[in-house]
Structure 1
């Protein structure tokens, strides 16, 4: 009985408001999207290890631009350590995945690894950082040790 006295009709939509909304969606948002992409790229660049081996690294399947540009030299002696490698206990599991991806001459290209990495559903910006950390020798490919490191970081 109480509901009978209420008006449940929707008020008409104003064409001027709809036109403004349409312009916002079609024009303004389209102009903002490149700015968001640029902001994400800028943030990814800022999150590189500062003062370390990976500063300035821009190679890998998740980087827009020139994937073969490096400005720093790699020194293997910086990586030597007496401590047990944190990845060692899960390495057999990672090796199985690595060899199922069919490495060429003991290495996987970024193209082969990218599909597997994307299947983890992590954002590309995170996967790009993982790639930069794991590709220790900066050759744009991952050997079994680098792949194990990337897999460990993904988990």
Structure 2
């Protein structure tokens, strides 16, 4: 199938200049606003997809009274409810291939792997802060699984929570957080 290029409309230099101006200046001015909007966003209504398997979505926090009213038993149900569990074996394979020392990945090794996801450093920094639950600068297998889960969620277009909801806190870390359990 041949095309007759003589029937195409000629390019208009003025329109090309306007388009070039838009792309180089106007769009560049909007980019910081998008970043600011992402940081200020308070929407946490992410459900489905990577968050499937929870009753109300992983970013919806319930008070202890609500859990008991619904006939749930607190920590036992919370552990079964950890949204990362279904993909943990996949994340564990990656974790152990990165050769953790004493069961933990150093920040350097974890960062090298995380940067390979091609997410912006600002997003990876937020994921790190959410995932390093015990704040020791290293990731154990559960924290790494959480980081991997959040990375996948972000790559699929989902948002990140401002603070880590209890449903995303790794089960072994839940006993250490909160009041005397």
Using the size of structure 1 for normalisation, the TM-score is 0.50
Larger Rg: 1
